[in-house]
Amino acid sequence: MKAAVYYENGAPSVFRYEDVPDPTPGDDEILIRVEAVSVEGGDTLNRLRGDLRTTPHIVGYQAAGTVVEVGSRVADFEVGERVVTLHSDGSHAELRTAYPNFAWKIPEGLSSEVAAAVPTAFGTAHDSLFEFGRLARGETALIHAGASGVGIAAIQMAKRAGATVLATASSNERLERLVEFGLDTGINYVEEDFVVRVRELTEGRGADVIVDSVGGENLQKSLRALAYRGRCVSMGDAGRDSADVLNIAPMRQNNQSFTRYFLGAELFVGTRAYAQIASILDDVAAGELRVVIDRAFPLSEAEEAHAYIESRQVFGRVILIP
């Protein structure tokens, strides 16, 4: 099969488009022919500094396609079914394996390109807002990186739940585009201090729930923007600026809470998150939630796709097509 591989960590230029051996599914795995790859933020970070489980290495969490083989102990999937899958790596290829508890059947009428962009972004957004953020109707949610896949998902979900939705982005143009997804007020973090602006917009209270996918100094500032009993949920370090020390001492006097979140852990320990993502896929198929695909690249142009993501121009998700 063809795959986008690399032999060492580094910039997008490390990618090579090569022939590699076809993967073989284990007894508890399925094999899919990939039709669309959603390039996740973690994919770019893994390419930059993640472990190389194999050499050459095929990066990538998430891909959708058609089942072409099932292991002897797999009961819930059949050859010919369309699925979207998650795995620690291997998405940037024509074929990939996955475990059944990390694979979802694609609802009728939903394209592989759209389905490929759902589990990580929408599962993370939902859990951050509701399972760990406990967002309630009438509260205020602040969504960082509003134009990202997680951001656009979270804005829609928070608005649907009856919250007031604030979001940050690096340009007024991006913020204007987010209004149709449910954004109430946008904050251009390049032009203004989001902590000050959040306090102004909430009459000094702060945000009840903050979803922070940026990390670093942005995360420290997020804690200063929380309301009394506010909840901040952090995942990843999209800003690539990890804070060495996070000062949580002031949170105690305001009875605030902080959670570091990882979707994979929720999928490993039970069925709740799996069922939630299946429900979200149904909502997307029904048009109740929208997936935004910014651009699609051929798999052979993985270098260009990763470079485009790192240019910080993306609105939504970038897709690779084998």
- Is 252 contained in some domain? yes
Amino acid at 3: A
| In contact, 83 and 32? CB cutoff 8 Å | yes
Q: Are residues 198 and 300 in the same domain?
A: no
Which of 246, 263, 280 marks a domain boundary?
263
**Residue 166 in contact with residue 233, Cβ under 8 Å?**
no
Q: Say whether both 37 and 105 belong to one domain.
A: yes
- 79 and 200 in a single domain? The answer is no
DSSP, collapsed to helix, strand or coil, labels residue 273 as: helix
Asked if the structure places residue 271 within a domain, the reply is: no
From the number of C-beta atoms within 10 Å of its C-beta (0-12, 13-18, 19+), residue 135 rates as buried
Distance CA 174, CA 151 (A): 12
Would residue 168 count as lying in a domain? yes
| 246 is a domain residue | yes
Per DSSP, 147 falls in state T
Q: Are 107 and 42 contained in the same domain?
A: yes
Report helix, strand and coil shares of the chain as percent, to nearest 5.
Answer: 35, 25, 40
Query: Quick one: 310 and 255 in the same domain?
Result: no
- What pLDDT score does 243 carry? 55
Alpha helices in 52-201, H assignment, sequence order: 112-115, 119-126, 149-160, 172-178, 194-201
Give yes or no: residues 124 and 93 share one domain.
Answer: no
108 and 189 share one domain: no
Number of Cβ atoms within 10 Å of the Cβ of 248: 13
C-alpha distance across the termini of the chain, in Å: 10
Whether residue 275 lies inside any domain: the answer is no
In a domain, 208, yes or no: yes
Q: What's the predicted TM-score (pTM) here?
A: 0.95
Q: Are 108 and 124 in the same domain?
A: no
Range of the domain at 79: 2-117+291-321
Give residue 244's pLDDT: 66
Low-confidence ranges of the chain (pLDDT < 70): 237-244
Q: Are residues 124 and 258 in the same domain?
A: yes
In this prediction, residue 236 carries a pLDDT of 72
How many distinct structural domains can be found in the chain?
A: 2
Neighbours of 157 (CB within 10 A): 26
How confident is the model at residue 36, as a pLDDT? Answer: 98
CATH number of domain containing 19: 3.90.180.10
Indicate the residue type of 179: V
CATH of the domain at 234: 3.40.50.720
Are 258 and 131 in the same domain?
yes
Same domain, 130 and 220: yes
Inside any domain, residue 270: no
Structure token pair of residue 35: 């039709």
Indicate whether 29 and 95 sit together in one domain. Answer: yes
Q: Do the domain assignments include residue 283?
A: no
